Amino acid sequence: MDSDLTYNALVEDHFRHPRNPADGPCGRAGGSYKGPGEGAVCGRAGSVDRGAWIEFQLQIGADRSVVKAWFRAYGCPHTIALASWLTDYLPGRVLSDNFTLDRHVITEALELPVEKRSSVLVAEDALRACAAAVCGEDVSSDSEVACHGA
């Protein structure tokens, strides 16, 4: 019935002290809200019922690279730590609709056990949803490279 609770130091650190948590729905302006505000790009994936849900809220620069990232997450400690860790990892990276995460780097850094690696796919889907939001508006123009190349 109980899980064998072992996590590496990085997972524990991100779980205890999450980096860049957004404190509300995407794009909410004013008040004490921490997040990208107006013009934010947001994407979410997974579901609470299936045990993992991740949302990224991104501030995107002119070159379609991530300037700053915030997250919200529901899930096991690995899922929360992964989403938090990615908000440190994403700035400077350019989103595309076939965006893929370097699973090797991630599973090694967070020592994700096999049964937890699906959370990487949830994070990737959330980022692809962000990319679709970036690309959706003007896929025909000069955004070709950013939207269809890695």
Chain residues that interact with other proteins, rule: CB under 8 A? 1-5, 7, 15, 18, 21, 23-25, 48-53, 55, 71-77, 79-80, 113, 115
- In the complex, the smallest distance separating the C-beta of residue 114 from other proteins, rounded to whole angstroms, is 8
| Shorter beta-carbon distance to other proteins: residue 129 or 146 | 129
**H or E element, residue 54:** strand 52-60
Question: Which of 25, 54, 53, 52 has the alpha carbon at shortest distance from 40?
Answer: 25
Backbone angles phi, psi at 121, to 5 degrees: -70, -35
Answer whether 61's CB lies under 8 Å from 68's CB: no
- In the complex, the smallest distance separating the C-beta of residue 59 from other proteins, rounded to whole angstroms, is 19
| Shorter beta-carbon distance to other proteins: residue 81 or 147 | 81
| Shorter beta-carbon distance to other proteins: residue 71 or 89 | 71
- In the complex, the smallest distance separating the C-beta of residue 44 from other proteins, rounded to whole angstroms, is 8
| Shorter beta-carbon distance to other proteins: residue 80 or 106 | 80
Q: Exposure pattern of 5-41 as b/e (b: 16+ CB <10 Å)? A: eebeeebeebbeebbbbbeeebbbeeeeeebbeeebb
